[in-house]
């Protein structure tokens, strides 16, 4: 009976995996055909011969190589800075005793319930007042302090032994040195999970870069792909190819941090 149950579970998981991969398979096939071929009846189910033409048109139309570099630079800088800020804030909330700590934690939790759309107008006015419109710092800096990231890292620091911190301080280690050399390596699973979430969020961000960036040379991938959608014609094959190529950095980041990602999520699930 247990063997049959195990086989049934594996079969269901296999079916779920196949169903999940079908959109990616169709995206890969569609990127090798022209837009007109995608609307034939029946639609093509095998790869075509338009991949190089679609890639050349994508490069000529939106400068796809340039916007990929733009997105990578923005996402990597944002991920690095946001991870450091979240880790330091989470460490402070977990290991330092100060008046109002519980209130501050409650405020951070409350900010997670504020819809992003509510912040667009005041943030835009702030960026305009300091002259940051059409700059990358306006895309990167406003969202460095992530409530989710702070709470995730705090959970990783809560169970870190206070005795080790005291020993490091007695040995003359400074607070920053203790944090970076002793504490932070012990929460690599949570940090890896945070890196994946942060990179994916920034890489897929569309509305805020669309508001901030108004020159094509500075567009990120989502904003640039949006320009392929016109009023009278949509370049579906270009969209499919661009979307397919845009998923590659996400896959690389996930594969690089997948072990830490799973460990971080499971570790946070059993925290008391």
271 has a pLDDT exceeding 50: no
The answer on pLDDT for 34 being more than 60 is yes
Both tokens of 235, joined, read 């370049």
* Plot region of 131 (φ>0 → left; ψ -120 to 50 → alpha; else → beta): left
pLDDT in tens, 165-212: 888 888 888 888 888 888 888 888 888 889 989 999 999 999 999 999
| pLDDT-derived band at 45, boundaries 50, 70, 90 | confident
Q: What is the mean pLDDT of the chain?
A: 87
Class of domain 51-269 (CATH, top level): mainly alpha
Q: From the CB of residue 12, how many other CB atoms can be counted at a distance below 10 Å?
A: 10
Domain boundaries, the chain: 51-269
**Mean pLDDT computed over 137-164:** 89
| Buried/exposed code over 246-271 (b: 16+ C-beta within 10 A; e: otherwise) | beebeeebeeebeebbeebeebbeee
**pTM of the predicted structure, to 2 decimals:** 0.85
Largest CA distance in the chain: 76
What does the pLDDT read at residue 231? 63
Model confidence at 1: pLDDT above 90: no
Write the pLDDT tens digit of every residue in 89-146: 999 999 888 888 889 989 998 988 888 888 899 999 999 999 999 999 999 999 898 8
Following DSSP, what letter does each residue of 123-166 receive, concatenated? HHHHHHHTT-TTSHHHHHGGG-S-HHHHHHHHHHHHTS-HHHHH
């Amino acid at each position: 009976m247990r063997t049959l149950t195990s086989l049934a579970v594996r079969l269901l998981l296999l079916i779920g995996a196949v169903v999940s991969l079908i959109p990616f398979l169709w995206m890969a096939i569609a990127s090798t055909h022209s837009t007109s071929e995608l609307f034939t009846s029946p639609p093509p189910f095998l790869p075509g011969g338009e991949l190089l033409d679609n890639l050349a048109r994508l490069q000529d139309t939106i400068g796809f190589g340039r916007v990929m570099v733009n997105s990578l630079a923005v996402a990597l800088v944002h991920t690095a800075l946001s991870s450091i800020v979240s880790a330091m804030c989470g460490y402070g909330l977990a290991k330092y005793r100060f008046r109002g700590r519980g209130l501050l934690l409650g405020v951070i939790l409350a900010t997670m319930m504020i819809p992003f759309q509510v912040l667009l107008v005041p943030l835009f006015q702030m960026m305009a007042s300091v002259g940051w419109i059409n700059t990358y710092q306006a895309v990167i800096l406003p969202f460095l302090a992530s409530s989710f990231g702070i709470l995730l890292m705090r959970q990783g620091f809560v169970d870190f032994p206070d005795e080790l911190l005291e020993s490091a301080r007695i040995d003359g280690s400074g607070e920053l040195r203790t944090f970076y050399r002793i504490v932070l390596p012990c929460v690599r699973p949570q940090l890896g999970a945070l890196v994946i979430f942060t990179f994916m969020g920034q890489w897929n961000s569309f509305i805020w870069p669309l508001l901030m960036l108004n020159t094509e040379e500075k567009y990120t991938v989502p904003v640039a792909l949006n320009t392929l959608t016109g009023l009278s014609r949509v370049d579906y094959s270009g969209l499919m190819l661009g979307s397919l190529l845009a998923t590659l950095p996400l896959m690389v980041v996930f594969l690089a941090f997948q072990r830490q990602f799973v460990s971080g999520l499971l570790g946070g699930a059993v925290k008391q």
